[in-house]
Amino acid sequence: MKILITGSKGLIGAALKHALQFNGIEVAGIDFQFDPFHPEYGDILDLSSLASALENTQGIVHLAAISRVVLGESNPDLCLETNVEGTRNVIQTALSSSQKPWVLFASSREVYGQQKSLPVTESAPLQAVNTYGESKIEGEKIVEEAKDKGLNTAIVRFSNVYGSIFDHPDRVVPAFCRAAAEGSAFTVDGEQNIFDFTYLEDVVQGILSLIRLLLLGASLPPIHLATGCPSSLGQLAQIAKKASLHSIDIKHGTSRSSTVNTFWGDPTRAKNILNWKACVGIEEGMHRLIQQYALFGSLCHAF
């Protein structure tokens, strides 16, 4: 059995690739972040790259994307091209393949926007407040439409995934944990903002459960992977400060206008369908990440 991961060098893609290979599954990958001479180098905007990567695969986990709100706002055209047209290319290539592989599409809690009713369920209206969220809504539509054309597809929505030193260093949890390990000052932008932070290993386990069902031909509704346990940015800052061996200066800033300020998800659907629940809480997860930075932080200074 062979599975293609788009975005195979990213935070989730790299961890998922390792987990699949550990379970004896052959993995193909495509990611333009690789060196051009790397066998997994390719771009989802290039149909020939996709067709080559897709050969003899039974399934696709489509993770490749402009995956950050701030990047979507700074370059909305690139965000929409990558996330919408790239997804259209993945679906088109899958439909054209004789294998007709299933497609698991990685979406985001950003599709919900700012909801009044909390915790948020998967049936909540999709009302994104930024370009990234809008691009994921369009991607979901493309994936759902493919079902009518005979392709088995599923949607998984992620929520503030963290847990690796090779993450973007300016994302909130890596930034706080790296500062705690190094003893450097950091800034909390919107300390009252509340989110649902999910540990990378938990997310990978959720994806593996989805893959098992897709391999059995299951038809699945959209599922978000969320802990159901909200944490404020101020709480995260205090966890980092207490875990540090250094005296840290915490500065305070204002929230970005393009971001949701409150979200946490209801994990009931994931529990009922996948028998999944988050096992690593935010405090334990941050402690693990701080230890990673303390031991191996020098490896990620180039990232």
Beta carbons of 83 and 139 less than 8 angstroms apart? yes
The one-digit pLDDT tens for each residue of the chain (303 residues) are 999 999 999 999 999 999 999 999 999 999 988 888 888 889 999 999 999 999 999 999 999 999 999 999 999 999 999 999 999 999 999 999 999 999 999 999 999 999 999 999 999 999 999 999 999 999 999 999 999 999 999 999 999 999 999 999 999 999 999 999 999 999 999 999 999 999 999 999 999 999 999 999 999 999 999 999 999 999 999 999 999 999 999 999 888 766 799 999 999 999 999 999 999 999 999 999 999 999 987 666 544
Cα(138)–Cα(142) distance, integer angstroms: 6
The pLDDT score that the predictor gives to residue 302 is 47
The radius of gyration of the chain's CA atoms, rounded to the nearest angstrom, is 19
The pLDDT score that the predictor gives to residue 255 is 80
CATH superfamily of 2-161+199-229+260-279: NAD(P)-binding Rossmann-like Domain (3.40.50.720)
Beta carbons of 229 and 199 less than 8 angstroms apart? no
245-254: per-residue pLDDT in tens? 999 999 998 8
Burial of 159 from C-beta contacts in 10 A (0-12 / 13-18 / 19+): buried
Q: Which token pair is 282? A: 């935010």
Q: Which amino acid is at 101?
A: P
Beta bridge partners of 188: 252
Cα(223)–Cα(273) distance, integer angstroms: 9
| Whole-structure pTM value | 0.95
What is the domain partition of the chain in residue ranges?
2-161+199-229+260-279
Q: Write the CA distances from 12 to 51, 65, 178, 223, integer angstroms.
A: 22, 12, 19, 17
183-204: per-residue pLDDT in tens? 999 999 999 999 999 999 999 9
